[in-house]
A = this chain, B = another copy of it.
């Protein structure tokens, strides 16, 4: 098939390959390769001539072809289900940690089509591992028991030990703090919007909710516990369900900020004032939580730090060292903002 077949858009040209360089320099591709990689065995004059052609053509070796040949690529992969506030915060931390280490970062996003396909991370990992990346960080993977061709670290995984090294935060205690905060404000009817059933973090946040209620002697009402899947779309339905109840809750704890913000939007739409009529607590403390109106009370998770740590552990793994810690859990804190207030006797 020739290029003529496809519509060639806007300044698109044929790829320049090592062969083009070789021909134009009047040498073999092997020689060009040697120049490219600073290998010995090329005379200075030849090297210079080849280099000139390379420069004039603006040639750059294809990452793909090179990766296929070499076992090392100097690229670290970060596999995410989607580029949302949590994962992008993590990226910032990872990026800072990688500076000066001589690695490049390759973020691969499933483009949000992971809801149906459990195990995306395993498939993505095998797609990239061994050929494109030397190591990887899996963000919120649902399956991590797979052996892999490269070392990897799981952030906020489905389940902990045994398996690869993991980094997460204290979800149980965080959720507890959130709900205790609501209780201390006088709330008794507290709804919950849960996270993705396949993630350990979601399970722990729900457990924290239950524990907080129980230790205050408040009954856990099944109807007040809804499914949000960490997904704004699902959370919308869940919040409508909660807020549409005859005896609706005076407070809601959402398992992440995105869902809490969605709940806020629904409340606004229904004319329910936050925090006067409804108190709202999220989880994560993503930047968007602060930008909301009113700003969101939430549980802080040191997301960037989690990114930094993951890289650190991964680099140790890749160096063949045993990491200092295999499973790190970072602390969480309550951040009180404007979305929570006293229960006003409803």
List residues of A whose CB falls within 8 A of some B CB. 1, 6-16, 58-65, 67-68, 71, 82-85, 88-89, 91-92, 94-95, 98-101, 103-113, 122-124, 126-132, 146-151, 164-165, 286-288, 290-291, 317-320
A320 in complex: contacting residue of B9, B63, B104, CB < 8 Å = B9
Q: Assess the B99–A92 pair: CB atoms within 8 A.
A: no
How many Å lie between the Cα of A14 and that of B103 in the bound state?
A: 22
How many Å lie between the Cα of A100 and that of B65 in the bound state?
A: 29
Known: A63-B131, A65-B131. 16 other contacts (CB 8 A): A11-B164, A15-B129, A16-B149, A58-B122, A62-B68, A62-B132, A63-B128, A64-B64, A64-B67, A83-B95, A95-B109, A95-B111, A104-B109, A104-B110, A287-B287, A290-B291
With A12-B148, A84-B95, A287-B290 already in contact, the answer to whether A111 and B122 are too (CB < 8 A) is no
With A91-B88, A99-B112 already in contact, the answer to whether A6 and B320 are too (CB < 8 A) is yes
Q: Assess the B95–A105 pair: CB atoms within 8 A.
A: no
How many Å lie between the Cα of A113 and that of B165 in the bound state?
A: 28
Chain B, Cβ-Cβ closest to A108: B106
A126 in complex: contacting residue of B16, B65, B109, B148, CB < 8 Å = B16
Q: Which residues of B contact A11 (CB under 8 A)?
A: 147-148, 151, 164
How many Å lie between the Cα of A131 and that of B60 in the bound state?
A: 12
With A130-B15, A149-B12, A291-B290 already in contact, the answer to whether A82 and B58 are too (CB < 8 A) is no
Q: Which residues of B contact A10 (CB under 8 A)?
A: 151, 164-165, 317
Q: Assess the A60–B291 pair: CB atoms within 8 A.
A: no
